[in-house]
Amino acid sequence: MAPYYRSITSSSSVLPLDTTLLESLEKANEDELKVLDERLQEAEKQEGESEISDALKARANYLTRIGDKVSKLVAYLNLIHRK
């Protein structure tokens, strides 16, 4: 949830930014997004449109869970564009 954590600890917030926590959250996000991107690449190579759509939805749902609004919007636009 690095994007969400970053937004609630912005300069105007009363919450202090814990850089160690932020780095660990960013690393976890990168790892999960890498897995989801690999799933999408595999679906594009060997699967059909349903599997590609499922992989894009999984990525968009993950971005929603971590609070990454901008990337989530891009993921949903990619999903819509494919239909």
Average pLDDT over residues 12-16: 75
Tell whether 47 is covered by a domain.
yes
* One-letter amino acid for residue 14 of the chain: V
Q: How confident is the model at residue 83 (pLDDT cuts 50, 70, 90)?
A: low
Could you tell me if residue 68 is inside a domain? yes
pTM of the model: 0.70
Residue 76 lies in a domain: yes
Interval 23-79: pLDDT, tens: 999 999 999 999 999 999 999 999 888 999 899 889 888 888 888 776 766 766 666
Q: How many domains does the chain have?
A: 1
SS3 labels along the chain:
CHHHHHHHCCCCCCCCCCHHHHHHHHHHHHHHHHHHHHHHHHHHHHCCHHHHHHHHHHHHHHHHHHCCHHHHHHHHHHHHHHC
Q: The domain containing residue 46 runs over which residues?
A: 2-6+16-82
- 36 found inside a domain: yes
Could you tell me if residue 11 is inside a domain?
no
